[in-house]
Amino acid sequence: MTLSLLILIPLLGGLLAWYSQGFNPNLPRRISLFTLLGSLAYLGILTLTSPLARSSQWLFDESHVWIDRFNITAHFSMDGLSLVLILLTLLMGLVALSSAWCEIDKHQGFFYFNFLWTLAGIIGVFLAMDLLLFFVFWEVMLVPMYFLIAIWGHENRRYAALKFFLFTQAGGLLMLLSTLALVVFHYQETGLLSFNYHVLILAPISSPMAIWICLGFIIAFLVKLPAFPFHPWLPDAHTQAPTPASIILAAILLKTGGYGIIRFVLPLFPDAVQFWSPLMMSLAVLSIIYGALMAFSQHDLKRIVAYSSVSHMGFVLLGCFSLNMIALQGAVMQMLAHGLSSAALFMLVGLIQQRFHSRDLHQFAGLWRYLPQLSAMGLFFAIASLGMPGLGNFIGEFLVLVGALEQHASFAVLASLGLILGAVYSLRMIQKSFFGPFRTQGSDLESPASTADTRIPLTSTSEQASAKVAEHAKPPALPSPYPDLSLKEKLTLMSIAAGLILLGIHPQPLLDMLEQPLAQVLAYAITGSAL
């Protein structure tokens, strides 16, 4: 019961949260908080009390009989890679909860039920070591997320939710077919019917069909990642989802794609991976550049962040298919760092939307004037996501570039264009939203009435602002019409920032934890056998 408890806690917590709504609408969110904290504590106890056996890749292993007829088991295992990603899931779950706390005010019970079930599905994905079980969890995280978007989303939510569902479902279907084909071929070659990862990995199938089976898996994961050209669901889903769902989507859900590639594709299909590697690396480069170009042309803040995710996840794909240690470490670091920075950026966009009822860069500008703390945070995370050394994202991108340059220099050079374009769209976003003269539009209904008179002189002076306006001009001391960050928001954002700094200057503990699993994966991917 050691590992399944990790999944059961949020599942049960979700049910309890739903049930508790009848008593008090404030109960569900508290139950969710306790559930997440409980899971974290449990994870902490697990990792601290267990003797971290350095000799073996796997820290925990747990297996139950499920469908005996086809030798399908409920098999969970955890290694450093899963552990790191589950930790990210729980922490970003807390961030999402923090942003859901006040934003969600209808059907709280059902919301937190879906919220926790999505997280449970994600944790299950990171733990499942049986391919069919993996598929089940893949769906478990999908359906509640569909509801999150379709019920609590913004103006165009039905369309976005359906799009999200169809894309992922198509990918999932391909994965299911590939799983069955893989098992059948494996059975034909070895006479061993098994869905078990640990069994399948030992004898990679040698049939020429392996290439296509591999492609089925890859596409399922590419959709999730998302990589060019399977990305169109992401901007819509992100834009329409409520802030907490956006956070979960960007910070964790996308990572399951990268995880799937590292965990399943690379070791299960060593030859096919070699075959697809150049194509995948070109797709990665295309994602990096295309995502950045798209991010530049958007004026919806959430779409900008969404397309920037496409660009950043391109580095993950590039790292995965560079097939060496440095690049793989970089891919995982990029997943973690992007998880933190995109969660923070989405949270900030949510906060802006709360205050201005718009995410459109045409509708507001110059937020620094009244919201210096929020803007400073936005500045920090935008700078982090453009790859400033000393912060986590740089480590990821740098390591991926180092690794990719060894494999295919031209791809690495093209991918580095992403660093330049990343600066271009991030700075545009900063400039348009935080800097310049303060301005809102059509906000008479939404903004506090007292600000109407203070705003008019401001815009007029700023338009006349020429070189003559004194460098020293002190802005008149006006009371801020919009509330800056509250303590809870500040704490959440500060801890994410601290996490990014820690990732950026002291990533070694994580790298150590990841070393053994990744070395194992590489051993299978390159030589087809264990270390």
Partner 1 sequence: MNSLFMNDLLMNDLLMNNLLMAIPLLPLCSAAILILFQPNERWTRILGVSSVSLAALLALLLNVQVWDEELFIIQASLGEWLSIGTSELASQHAGSLKLSFGLYLDPLSLVMITIICCIGALIHVYSASYMIQDADQCRFFAYLNLFVSSMLILVLADNLVLLYLGWEGVGLCSYLLIGFWYQKTDNNRAANKAFIITRIGDTAMLIGIILLFYQFDTVNIQQIQQQSQVFLQANTAGENQLIALSCLLLFAGAAGKSAQMPLHSWLPDAMAGPTPVSALIHAATMVTAGIYLIARNDALYQLAPQVLMFIAIIGVLTLLLGATSALFQTDLKRILAYSTISQLGYMFLALGVGAASTAIFHLMTHAFFKALLFLSAGALIYCMNHEQDIMKMGGLRKKLPLLALSFAIGCAALASLPMTSGFFSKELILQQVAMAEQPLLWWGALLGALFTALYSGKLFFIIFMGKPGHAPSHKTPAVMGAVLIVLMILALFGGIQPQGILHQFGELTLDSSSGLTLLEHGLPILVPLIGVILAWFLFGQTRGDKPVNRVGLGRFIHSGWGFDTLFSSVFITPFKKLTYLNRHDIIDASFRALETVSYRLHLMFNRLQTGQLRRYSASLILFSILAIAWGVIR
Q: Which residues bind partner 1 (CB under 8 A)?
A: 228-229, 231-232, 235, 290, 293-294, 296-298, 324-326, 329, 366, 368-369, 376, 383, 388-390, 395, 398-399, 401-403, 405-406, 412-413, 416-417, 419-420, 423-424, 427-428, 431, 434-438, 462, 465, 467-472, 474-475, 505-508, 511, 515-516, 518-519, 522-523, 526, 531
- Kindly tell me which of 38 and 437 has the beta carbon lying closer to partner 1: 437
Q: Which residues pair with 300 in a beta bridge?
A: 360
Helical H segments across 108-156, by residue range:
108-127, 131-152
Nearer to partner 1, 351 or 405 (CB): 405
What is the distance between the alpha carbons of residues 42 and 3, in angstroms, rounded to a whole number? 10
Helix, strand or coil for residue 72? Answer: strand
Nearer to partner 1, 253 or 405 (CB): 405
Our CB check for partner 1 shows the closer of 105 and 471 to be: 471
Dihedral of CA 501/252/523/60: which sign?
positive
Place of tokens 């802006």: 352
The encoded tokens of residue 14 equal: 């979700």
CB of 289 to partner 1, least distance (A): 11
Token pair, residue 375, equals: 């803007």
**CB of residue 102 to partner 1, shortest distance in Å:** 25
Distance from C-alpha of 50 to C-alpha of 59, rounded to nearest angstrom: 8
Closest distance to partner 1 from the beta carbon of 421 (Å): 9
Strands 364-365 and 58-67: unpaired
At its nearest, how many Å lie between partner 1 and the CB of residue 295? 9
Q: How far is the CB of 487 from partner 1 (least distance, A)?
A: 15
Is residue 447 within 8 Å of 454, Cβ to Cβ? no
Which CB atom, from 180 or from 379, has the smaller least distance to partner 1?
A: 379
Distance of CA 431 to the CA centre of its chain: 25
Which residue, 29 or 263, is less far from partner 1 as judged by CB?
Answer: 263
Beta strand pairing status for 58-67 and 72-79?
antiparallel
Considering the complex, state which of residue 184 and residue 325 has its C-beta at the smaller distance from partner 1: 325
**Token pair recorded at residue 510:** 């994580």
Residue nearer to partner 1 on the CB measure, 61 or 515: 515
**CB of residue 379 vs partner 1: minimum separation in angstroms?**
8
CB of 511 to partner 1, least distance (A): 6
* Phi, psi angle pair for 61, to nearest 5°: -150, 140
Q: CA-CA distance, 196 to 183, in Å (whole number)? A: 9
Residue 196 · residue 61 · CB < 8 Å: no
Q: Closest separation between CB of residue 402 and partner 1, Å?
A: 5
